[in-house]
Chain A
Amino acid sequence: KAGVTQTPRYLIKTRGQQVTLSCSPISGHRSVSWYQQTPGQGLQFLFEYFSETQRNKGNFPGRFSGRQFSNSRSEMNVSTLELGDSALYLCASSLLAGGRTGELFFGEGSRLTVL
C-alpha cells in the first residue's frame, strides 16, 4: 500500500508569491490534516479535511487555505508569502476523521523557503 505522498518536496519562492502544495493520502483514507513545522513554533495544526469538508482550522491567517477533492487528495495554498512562512509543511492522513480514530500517517513533507 503506497504511503502519503506530498509534492513538491522542496520549493523556493519569493515574498508576495503564492504556493500550492499537494497531498495524496493513503488509499481508503478520507481524512487529511495539514501541519506547519518550524524550529521556533514546532508543529502547528493548520486544518483538517474529511470527505471534501473542512472540519477544523488552526489559528492561521486567511492567507492559508486548503481543499480536498472527491478522491481525498488535498491541496493547501498560501498566498502573499511572507518570510515567516518558510517551514516544513506536513500532511497526514487517517482512515476516519480526527484524533479519535488512531494514528496519523505522515508524508515526508514539503519544505518551503521564502526569500
Chain B
Amino acid sequence: SQQGEEDPQALSIQEGENATMNCSYKTSINNLQWYRQNSGRGLVHLILIRSNEREKHSGRLRVTLDTSKKSSSLLITASRAADTASYFCATDGGNNDMRFGAGTRLTVKP
C-alpha cells in the first residue's frame, strides 16, 4: 500500500516559474525523501529531510516538513524544461521499507 499522496497529480508551468508539489502521509516517519523519475526510467534521489528537521535546501530545491500535519512540500525555483519529470515523495512506513506516493507529473514549457 502507498504511504504518501502527492498533490497535485499533474502540474504544468512555464520555464522560469516556481513549481510546488505537496505530499501527505499517514504514519509517523523517520525521514521523508523526494525522488525524480524521467519517463520510463529509474528514480533519482533528490533530497532527504529527517523528522526533526523543518526545512532543507539543495540548489534550486527547497523541502519543508510539517510532522504535525504529516505533510511535506517540494519547491523547485526558476524551473527549466529539463525539470520535466515525475516527482515522488517516499517515507519509511515504520516497517523499515520505503513507500512511495503516486507522484506529481511536472511539465515545464520552454
- Write the residues of chain A forming the contact surface with B, with a CB cutoff of 8 angstroms: 4, 33, 35, 42-45, 48, 55-56, 58-59, 88, 90, 92, 97-100, 102-109, 111
Give complex CA distance A100, B100 in Å.
Answer: 14
**How many residues of B are counted as interface, with CB atoms below 8 angstroms from the partner's CB atoms?**
27
Residues of A within 8 A of B40 (CB): 88, 109, 111
**Contact residues of B between 1 and 48, Cβ < 8 Å to A:** 1-2, 30-31, 33, 35, 40-45, 48
Number of A-B contacts (CB under 8 A): 76
- Write the residues of chain B forming the contact surface with A, with a CB cutoff of 8 angstroms: 1-2, 30-31, 33, 35, 40-45, 48, 88, 90-93, 95-103
Q: Is the CB of A108 within 8 A of B42?
A: yes
Give complex CA distance A90, B48 in Å.
Answer: 20
Question: Which of the residues B42, B45, B96 comes within 8 Å of A98, measured between beta carbons?
Answer: B96
Residues of B within 8 A of A106 (CB): 35, 42-44
